[in-house]
């Protein structure tokens, strides 16, 4: 995958999204756990505060006591993190730290100066001993100084000598809450890793499933380009169908344009045939009138023009991309058919043609194009060979055809130029310089390869590779 890959972009976006979501989830869960634990601790502190209020007593002499005292052993351990304290808020007996747990040692909690209606519990976070941060729950109570019960005023002749207003507080170190929160976060990390892995796998499956239609579309386009199909199938998701429709419309427009071009080329060729026939008739008339030299020149000119027209028609066909769908042609049969014709020509009849080939070698070419390709190569060999032309055909992953003659050959510096349109490296023999160029056009149109080298006998060696047709 590259930076411009759609799959890479989706993967990066998913990675960022998953990471952000897991971070938000982790922070939220830790905060939720902390709030829940804080509420639980607050409820426990309120319960301890209520028990402390129930245990407070005022003796007849006016002294305040707690019986029985809170039973948690941490209240008796200095700086244990769990504390209680009683302050006297009576106007005539104000006292901070009137009674307090042994765990506070010689420290008194500095409670804020807020109003405490009877029965109302206030919550604070205050500084405690030894640098601790304390969660505090406090409330006030009023006790009858004579009977130790709750009271609401001064002596009224009923044996009560007045009331005492006391401030009760219970506190716990937040360090326990922080430790529980940190332990929860540590325990949660492996599970977040498992969730990340599951989400990553789900994202990978989602990306593959989401991009699968594009991969099918790519294979369908390749099938059209390779000639195995004429149109793209239309069983795609709704998001891809507009693209498929546009591509099919483009293919239809291209085929229509190619058909018109071929029609225009055929019309042009047909229009030229009549003047060429008239030119040949004029040459015959000149021969009858006793001017054979001029008649011969006109006939050669007409033949040259006719050959140009025929080859341009072939070039237009192979370059148009309209080669036969599922094309198949037997290379061995084409070689023997061409040799049967060449051996009846003056150049071919004088040569020793040696053919080494299997029984069949099926190439993915249209039969007409294969004959035109091999015909140009064999005609070129027949033109320049002195005595012998060797042809070897082999079939494997592709079809290889080797043609070697014993002619003068081509110098190494010029081998790479063979196949250029109109190139003639030797003017001693007639020709248009189009044969090898057309052969190269046909080979390139079908995805083959055409190479030239010096033959062992000194002539030209042609190495032709053609795509093999798939087995039926």
Give residue for tokens 């332990």. 183
Helical (H) or strand (E) element with 166: strand 163-173
Length of the chain: 472
CB 178 within 8 A of CB 76: no
- For every one of its 472 residues, what pLDDT tens digit does the chain have, with 9 covering 90 and above? 677 788 888 999 999 999 999 999 999 999 999 999 999 999 999 999 999 999 998 888 878 889 888 989 999 999 999 999 999 888 667 778 889 999 998 889 988 888 888 778 999 999 999 889 999 999 998 887 655 554 433 334 333 456 788 999 999 999 999 999 999 999 999 999 999 999 999 999 999 998 898 889 999 888 887 767 888 888 888 888 999 999 999 988 988 887 787 777 777 777 777 787 788 788 888 888 888 888 888 877 877 777 777 666 666 666 655 554 567 899 999 999 999 988 888 888 888 999 999 999 999 888 888 888 898 889 888 888 888 999 999 998 899 999 998 888 777 666 766 755 444 444 444 444 567 777 887 888 788 888 888 888 888 888 999 988 877 6
Residues with Cβ within 8 Å of 220's Cβ and at least 6 positions away in sequence, in order, are: 229, 232, 233
| Pairing mode of beta strands 388-395, 352-356 | parallel
Q: Classify 261 as helix, strand or coil.
A: helix
Q: Classify 354 as helix, strand or coil.
A: strand
| CA–CA distance, 409 with 415 (Å, rounded to integer) | 9
Residues of the chain with CATH 3.30.565.10: 329-467
Res 153: pLDDT: 38
CATH code for the structural domain at 329-467: 3.30.565.10
Res 423: pLDDT: 47
CB 371 within 8 A of CB 334: yes
Strand partners, 451: 463
Res 434: pLDDT: 63
Res 150: pLDDT: 47
Strand partners, 9: none
* Separation in Å, CA 336 to CA 185, 251, 343, 352: 83, 38, 10, 14
* Separation in Å, CA 57 to CA 47, 70, 89, 441: 18, 14, 15, 114
Residues of the chain with CATH 1.10.287: 241-319
| CA–CA distance, 235 with 240 (Å, rounded to integer) | 9
| CA–CA distance, 151 with 143 (Å, rounded to integer) | 5
CA dihedral of residues 189, 193, 198, 203 (deg, nearest 10): 120
pTM of the model: 0.55
- Considering the segment(s) 241-319 as one domain, its CATH architecture is Orthogonal Bundle (1.10)
């Amino acid at each position: 995958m590259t930076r411009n890959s759609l799959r890479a972009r989706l993967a990066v976006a998913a990675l960022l999204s998953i990471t952000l979501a897991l971070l938000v989830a982790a922070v939220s869960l830790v905060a939720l756990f902390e709030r829940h634990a804080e509420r639980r601790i607050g409820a426990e502190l309120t319960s301890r505060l209520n028990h402390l209020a129930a245990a407070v007593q005022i003796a007849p002499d006016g002294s305040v006591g707690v019986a029985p005292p809170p039973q948690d052993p941490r209240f008796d351990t200095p700086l244990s993190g769990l504390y209680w304290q009683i302050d006297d808020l009576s106007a005539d007996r104000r006292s901070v730290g009137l009674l307090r747990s042994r765990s506070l040692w010689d420290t008194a909690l500095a409670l804020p100066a807020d109003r405490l209606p009877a029965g109302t519990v206030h919550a604070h976070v205050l500084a405690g001993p030894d640098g601790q941060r304390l969660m505090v729950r406090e409330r006030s109570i009023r006790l009858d100084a004579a009977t130790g019960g709750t009271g609401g005023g001064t002596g009224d002749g009923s044996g009560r000598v007045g009331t005492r207003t006391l401030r009760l507080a219970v506190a716990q170190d937040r360090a326990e809450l922080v430790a529980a929160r940190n332990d929860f976060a540590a325990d949660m990390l492996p599970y977040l890793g498992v969730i990340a892995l599951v989400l990553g796998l789900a994202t990978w499956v989602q990306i593959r499933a989401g991009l699968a239609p594009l991969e099918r579309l790519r294979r369908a386009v390749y099938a059209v380009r390779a000639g195995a199909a004429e149109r793209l199938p239309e069983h795609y998701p709704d998001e891809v169908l507009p693209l498929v429709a546009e591509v099919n419309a483009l293919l239809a427009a291209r085929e229509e344009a190619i058909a018109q071009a071929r029609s225009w080329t055929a019309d042009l060729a047909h229009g030229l045939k009549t003047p060429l026939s008239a030119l040949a008739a004029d040459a015959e008339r000149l021969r009858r009138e006793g001017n054979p030299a001029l008649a011969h020149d006109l006939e050669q000119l007409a033949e040259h023009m006719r050959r140009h027209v025929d080859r341009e028609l072939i070039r237009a066909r192979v370059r148009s991309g309209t080669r036969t769908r599922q094309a198949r042609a037997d290379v061995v049969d084409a070689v023997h058919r061409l040799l049967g014709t060449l051996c009846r020509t003056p150049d071919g009849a004088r040569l020793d043609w040696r053919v080494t080939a299997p029984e069949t070698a099926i190439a993915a070419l249209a039969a007409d194009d294969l004959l035109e390709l091999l015909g140009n190569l064999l005609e070129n060999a027949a033109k320049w060979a002195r005595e012998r032309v060797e042809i070897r055909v082999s079939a494997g992953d592709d079809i290889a055809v080797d043609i070697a003659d014993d002619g003068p050959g081509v110098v190494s510096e010029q081998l790479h130029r063979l196949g250029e349109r109109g190139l003639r490296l030797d003017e001693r023999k007639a020709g248009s310089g189009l044969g090898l160029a057309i052969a190269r056009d046909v080979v390139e149109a079908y995805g083959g390869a055409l190479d030239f080298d010096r033959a062992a006998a000194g002539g030209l060696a042609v190495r032709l590779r053609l795509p093999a047709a798939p087995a039926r």
